Amino acid sequence: AQSVTQPDIHITVSEGASLELRCNYSYGATPYLFWYVQSPGQGLQLLLKYFSGDTLVQGIKGFEAEFKRSQSSFNLRKPSVHWSDAAEYFCAVGAYGGGGGSNYKLTFGKGTLLTVNP
Amino acid sequence: DTGVSQDPRHKITKRGQNVTFRCDPISEHNRLYWYRQTLGQGPEFLTYFQNEAQLEKSRLLSDRFSAERPKGSFSTLEIQRTEQGDSAMYLCASSLGPGNIQYFGAGTRLSVL
């Protein structure tokens, strides 16, 4: 079964500083990988996704992530953080399970809470 | 396309009562998923539908939980005889087929007193 580890529960950065959020996954095949962001009391908004091809993917709001198969990682980066980026960030792996191969679901990490200092 | 909508946004109930949540997916999406998110955790898969067929249920979905998707459009999630441990955010997502992006609603936050 697939799993996702986000080692950092809480990260604090200053506005304008660079950001890297870590994500490690476990899955037997090439995974579909996602980063979602959740503001307080809200649902999840997709930041970016990796399905195949170029291992550096660009997303919305200036975020990017790099898929490294050798490290089973999909870290999220942003060169300059804005106060509005404060939120919780979730890494997820999408994978097919049993049931004839059509059972597909997302498995999420526990999230990283980002605080941005002025 | 108004996105995935969930109703109600918040529900407060007493232990032992039944509650029902509704999810309206993006109109052309044939897959609909339910997830549960507790405090400090990421969303956890509960169940999903392909059109009107419920194809997989997590072990998290006890006998007190039932989900339906009549006519393959909106879905309902019912919890009978609620317990305090059911307090969580219940998220609905929809997608156009498996392996495609899942779009999430804002969720229904359930508090069981």
Q: What percent of chain A shows pLDDT beyond 70?
A: 97
Looking at residue A98, its pLDDT comes to 59
Which of B56, B57, B58, B108 best tests the A interface by mutation, with the highest count of A CBs <10 A?
Answer: B56
Residue B99 pLDDT > 90, yes or no? no
Q: Which two tokens stand for residue A48?
A: 């970016």
As to burial, measured by CB atoms within 10 angstroms (0-12 exposed, 13-18 middle, 19+ buried), residue B5 is middle
At B16-39, the pLDDT tens digits run 999 999 999 999 999 999 999 999
Whether the pLDDT of residue B15 is over 90: the answer is yes
Burial A36-61 (b: 16+ CB within 10 A, else e): bbbeeeebbebbbbbeeeeeebebee
Residue B111 in contact with partner chain A when CB distance is under 8 A = no
**Per-residue CA distances from A77 to A48, A102, B10 (Å):** 11, 32, 33
Contact B42 A42 (CB under 8 A): no
Per-residue pLDDT, averaged over A101-114, amounts to 89
Please report the pLDDT score of residue A43 as a whole number. Answer: 87
- The tens digit of pLDDT for each residue in A27-78 reads 878 789 999 999 987 889 999 999 988 899 999 999 999 999 999 999 999 9
Of B50, B56, B107, nearest to A43 by CB-CB distance is B107
Determine the pLDDT at residue A101: 58
Checking if the pLDDT of B109 tops 60, the result is: yes
Report the alpha-carbon angle A8-B40-B81, nearest 5.
Answer: 160
Cα-Cα end-to-end distance for chain A: 41
Tokens in use for B4? Answer: 């995935």
Tell whether the model's pLDDT for residue A99 goes beyond 70: no
